[in-house]
Amino acid sequence: MDLTVISENGITSGTVSGLISGLLVAFALGILDKTSKPRLELQRINDETALLRNNGFRTVAFGDTFALEKGNDLLYPKDGFRGRLSEMRCEGRNEIVVGCGIRLGESLSITYKPLWWSEIFPNRYWRYIQNQTAQADVMTVLERTNRPWFTADGACSRFKKYSSAEYSKPVRLCGWRMTHLPLKPL
């Protein structure tokens, strides 16, 4: 009698532990697969439309775009959304359709800021982020991130307030990053 109880408990515990370890391995492989991709990807849909994909887990606010010999504002909202790309956000593990001013194989630089939460902040926080996106152009973010943080110039550039001629309220560009996105086929 004791042997059958022990063998049934052994089979049950072995099955449960096998299931749990299999789920943990599958979860770890899924995380590795998703994090091996770049944070932002730009894929071509047709001649003037592209898919901007956020592979990260956090919401991303966009700033400015720039490419040599092309200038600024190379990505713009599509499908009835009015405004600029800097007024849009992309949720984590999501994608948005944008208009694209470059051809297949060309690349552009884009500034972005990962945000921790997207829905729980009040409107005042979003106005603050919107003010930052208006001033987070590529050259300013590149100048700020080019210097190492442990040098005197790097530390001063982290705390410097940037202002533009058209905006009256200067802001600190904390947490803004820049990446280069090549336009890939879908």
85-134 tens-digit pLDDT? 888 889 888 999 999 999 999 999 999 999 876 666 667 777 788 888 88
Averaged over 166-177, what is the pLDDT? 75
CA–CA separation, 34 and 94 (whole Å): 12
Does position 4 have pLDDT exceeding 60, yes or no? no
State the Cα torsion 117-122-125-126 to the nearest 10°: 80
Residue 178, Cα to own-chain centre: how many angstroms? 10
Query: Do 114 and 91 form a contact (C-beta atoms < 8 A)?
Result: no
Q: Which phi and psi (to 5°) does residue 176 adopt?
A: -80, 140
Q: What gap in Å lies between CA 47 and CA 91, rounded to an integer?
A: 25
Residue among 150, 147, 138 at smallest CA distance from 176: 138
pLDDT value for 107: 93
Q: Which positions ≥6 away from 28 have C-beta within 8 Å?
A: none
Distance, C-alpha 123 to centroid of its chain: 21
